[in-house]
Structures are given as C-alpha cells and as structure tokens.
Amino acid sequence: MRNFEDGANGRVIFLDRDGVLNVDKYGAYRPEQLELIDGVVEGLGILQSLGFRLMIVTNQSAIGRGDVTADQVNHFHRLLLGVLAEQGIHIAEIFLCPHDAQFGVGDFKKDCACHKPKPGLFFQAADQYGLDLSECYFIGDKKSDVVAGFNAGCQTILVETGILDDEHKYPGVSPRYRVRSLVDAARIVAGELALEQLKSQKTFVPPFTAELCDRLG
C-alpha cells in the first residue's frame, strides 16, 4: 500500500475519461480520436496545484465485447497521459473495468463489482493508496458517474462536457455540484479547500443571518 504524505492530505480527484478529459466519441481508442476538451489542462492544473493527485476511473467494456483489444486501449491511454504530461499534468493511475455483463465474451462476460456505477474501482484505489474516499472527489459527465461516486462515498461533481444520455435512468439522482466545465469544477474544489483551511484555523466567518444580526445589534 502506498500512502500520500504531502499535498492535500493524500486526497485524490477521480476523473471519468470520455466526456471529462477527451471528447466523447462513443468509445475512443484510436490515436486520431484523441481530442482534449477545451479547458481540461487549465482545470487539471488548478486541481494539481492544490495538491490533489489525479486518477482516471473508466469503464472500457468494449474490451470485454471484443470490439477493441486491451493493447489498443492501453496505447490510447499512453498517448493521453503523454499529451497531458507535455502540459505539466501528471495522472497518477488509471483504473479501468473491461467487463460487459450482457455482451461480454468469455471471462469478460461478468457481473463484476468494478463496472461503474458499482464502486469496485474506487475501493481498489483506496486499498492501493490508503485513501479515505470521503475526502476524495469524483468528476464525471453522466448520472451513472454520480451514482458511482455516491456508492464509493466520494464527493460528486457532474460536468456538462460529455454526452449526458442517462438522466432518464436515474431521475432522482443529483450530484453535489453540476457545472459547465472542468475549470468550473476545479474552482469549486479550490473554494471548498480554502473554506476547510479557514475552519481549521478557526478564522471562519459564519454566514450573516438575521439571527446573527439581532445578536450583534
């Protein structure tokens, strides 16, 4: 087990892949399909500067169906990480699920515990890195991502940069925050971290309410 001893108290920002980092093209695995979403580098830079580690958590059931190979997906990921690294962004780990419970082939046809919205990939990351998932965030672009983050015990942020095609499946599900972009998500996380620091330093000023006004008057 590896524990983080610096930064934001060993905390992690989990990120979905398609629709959050790269443009969702209904499954990207060819090099020419790699296209970062506008603002991704800026948003990741903010999160990284706050001391958070960045990890990708992604379903890649196309592997299980035999549509692509694991080598093709891994090659795409190496390209993605390389493009981000050129901009000073470091992704600490990629956790992926290759299974498809309905259309999987062979051993990949499996009702696993790691296919989002199930939380198995997050638990794997927590075990591997000694994480407190309640102190981590998951940023996704679908309601199933919100459910996955909730099931894992993470704080959830939904960004509107992907193909939000599953709202009808989860009508009562709401993320903690819903924002337009990864930059907006990063600014929210920065604000929450600053607020936590103020509280820990006992310099937090409570909201100015009518009750407080009466007491001061």
Q: Out of 18, 24, 100, 145, which one is annotated catalytic? A: 18
Rounded to whole angstroms, the Cα distance separating 37 from 24 reads 9
| 38 is known as an active-site residue | no
Indicate which residue of 6, 16, 38, 111 is catalytic: 16
What does the block give as tokens for 165? Answer: 């095609």
pLDDT score of 112 = 97
Q: Give pTM, 2 decimals.
A: 0.88
The residues spanned by each domain of the chain are 12-216
Q: Which DSSP string corresponds to 29-85?
A: -SGGG--BPTTHHHHHHHHHHTT-EEEEEEE-HHHHHTSS-HHHHHHHHHHHHHHHH
- Is the four-CA dihedral 72, 23, 26, 54 of positive or negative sign? positive
- pLDDT score of 213: 47
Residue labelled with tokens 């892949």? 17
What is the model's pLDDT at position 185? 98
DSSP label at 114? S
Q: What angle do CA 63, 65, 66 make, to 5 degrees?
A: 65
How far is it, in rounded angstroms, from Cα 191 to Cα 138?
16
User: Active site includes 214?
Assistant: no
| Distance (Å, whole) CA 16 – CA 56 | 6
Which pLDDT score, from 0 to 100, does residue 8 have?
Answer: 52
- Identify the bridge partners of residue 92 per DSSP, sorted by sequence position: none
Stretches where the chain sits below pLDDT 50 are 1-7, 212-213, 215-217
- What's residue 198's pLDDT? 84
Sequence-ordered list of residues with C-beta below 8 angstroms from that of 16, at least 6 positions apart, any chain: 56, 57, 58, 138, 139, 140, 141, 142, 145, 162
Class of domain 12-216: alpha beta
